[in-house]
Amino acid sequence: MNHARLKLIVLLPLLMSCPFSSRLEARQSSSPPPKPRNDRQQEDAVAKLFDWVRKGAKLHGLSRIEERTSLQQLVCTVAVTDKVPRFRTGFPVLGNDSINGGTNEKQAADTAAKVDVSSTLYKTTNPGELTAELQRVALFERRRGRHGHSPGYARYSVAVWPVQQTANEKAEFWVAVQLFWSESSEFFQSHFTDAIEWKNEWKQFVTPECKDAR
């Protein structure tokens, strides 16, 4: 009798732990995936390439905005959804649809004005590699036209977000670079021009997972 009671005492905690263990495993398996995060190291690598291209072309340096909320949240959204949001006009919110870092056939038929925009967005397995699109946006702020005037951009920002994929797939990244006016020019445009009406339009495209991205 004492022997049977001893066995019961030993087995009772094990039996009680089984339902708890099952519930814990179920809770862990149903927990939401970790929030996506941008890759600071890769952003620095892209910024170095951007500066290197401009220096090689003997163009003036642009100051870097380390954290541009609008750019980070938009690229986070693209990384989460794997889709590029578009304005009602059909134009992408970033870049010119050259998502592979080059220029596709459709764009080759377009005018240079449509292709050469002040931002870029593309997908790559190696953000530290110079692509045609990165080179294009790095050279965007240059003297051009009959009178040799540059567009007037003074700053730029970089965002690099990993593509949401399974663990056994090769890592890919969404890379974006966007040019910006000087702080004073941007303040004037945002408060005293028609930009007041559309300056925050980008916010409608941001997914809930990316609203805290910085």
Q: What is the pLDDT of residue 131?
A: 95
Q: What is the pLDDT of residue 122?
A: 95
Split the chain (214 residues) into runs of 10 and give each run's mean pLDDT: 51 51 50 73 97 96 95 95 88 81 44 68 95 95 80 95 77 94 76 65 90 86
- What are the start-end ranges of the E strands in the chain? 63-65, 119-124, 155-162, 173-180
**Residue 191, Ramachandran bin (φ over 0: left; ψ between -120 and 50: alpha; else beta):** alpha
Predicted TM-score of the model (pTM): 0.75
Q: What is the pLDDT of residue 73?
A: 95
Query: Where are the chain's structural domains?
Result: 1-31, 40-210
Q: What is the pLDDT of residue 147?
A: 75
Q: What is the pLDDT of residue 96?
A: 85
Q: What is the pLDDT of residue 66?
A: 93
